[in-house]
Amino acid sequence: MTEDPQVPADAGTKGAAALPRVAVIVSGSGTLLQALLDNAQGYTISSVLSDRADALGLERARKAGVPTAVVQLKDFPDRAAWDRGLLKAVDAFAPDLVVLAGFMRILGEPLLNRYGGKIINTHPALLPAFPGAHGVRDAMAHGVKVTGCSVILVDAGTDTGPIIAQRATEVLDEDTEETLHERIKVLERDLLVDVVERMATQGWTVDGRKVRLN
Ligand code: GAR
């Protein structure tokens, strides 16, 4: 058991271009991460972290030459220690923005206290409807005719933070959870890239629950 995540020795060094640094945290296949990597202009993906050593997103990062860190719950004595470990791993890369792209855990206080207001999450439903781990399934089960994706600022709740941007798609009679999720992800990749690019290059303002991209 250790609280030391795997972090490369050169982590945290500023790149020559000095573009805003984005840390991406993933749990799964990382197609949203791939979109962020492929379309980075006004920002640089400076690190990719995961709570799963087998996350395909880590492989995508390595292929792109981006430093990675694995912070697995099972390597820590308890959830609080893991939260501290995740903060330490994120800190090591000194990000300006933290993006949760298919990260399937609730963020703990340490990361929120340090990076609150600069952490964004993407979710495959039109929040505040259908928060949680099964946004697509829950929307279908409810029988909605329109669903979509939401990019939000992360707060302490489950998908409750202020909404930055959303896109919608129709639910078709013949949809399965997989076909609908894939159609949502096409929108989601584009939306996430656009939001990160705008936040990195022009900034944003928050007034209560209202977020405005500059
Ligand atoms: C995305 O649809 C994202 O919104 C969702 O996981 C998918 C990741 O896709 N996240 C959540 O459901 C978080 N509650 P990817 O692994 O292909 O990038």
Rounded distance between C-alpha atoms, residue 197 and residue 43, angstroms? 7
Number of the ligand 1 atom closest to the C-alpha atom of 56: 16
Ligand 1 midpoint to CA 131 (Å): 12
Instruction: Choose which residue among 122, 127, 160, 180 to substitute to test ligand 1 binding: the one with the highest number of ligand atoms within 8 A of its C-beta.
Output: 122
User: pTM to 2 decimals?
Assistant: 0.92
Tell me how far apart the alpha carbons of residues 101 and 166 are, in angstroms, rounded to a whole number. 15
Q: Quick one: tokens of 24?
A: 């991406």
CA of 110 to the centre of ligand 1 (A): 23
Span 129-182, pLDDT tens digits: 999 999 999 999 999 999 999 999 999 999 999 999 999 999 999 999 999 999
Res 3: pLDDT: 38
- Whether residue 113 is annotated as binding a ligand: the answer is no
d(CA 77, CA 69): 18
Which residues of the chain carry a pLDDT beneath 50? 1-16
**DSSP H stretches of helix in 125-212:** 135-142, 177-202
**Can you list the pairs that 69-76 forms with residues at least 24 positions away whose Cβ atoms lie under 8 Å?**
69/5, 69/6, 69/7, 69/8, 69/11, 69/93, 70/5, 70/6, 71/5, 75/1, 75/2, 75/5, 76/1, 76/2, 76/3
Are 57 and 33 spatial neighbours (Cβ–Cβ below 8 Å)?
yes
- Is the Cβ–Cβ distance between 46 and 95 less than 8 Å? yes
Query: What pLDDT is stored for residue 58 in this prediction?
Result: 98
123 a catalytic residue: yes
**pLDDT value at residue 1:** 31
Question: Which ligand 1 atom lies nearest to the CA of residue 103?
Answer: 13
Q: Atom 8 of ligand 1 has which residue's CA nearest to it?
A: 102
Give nearest CA residue, ligand 1 atom 4.
123
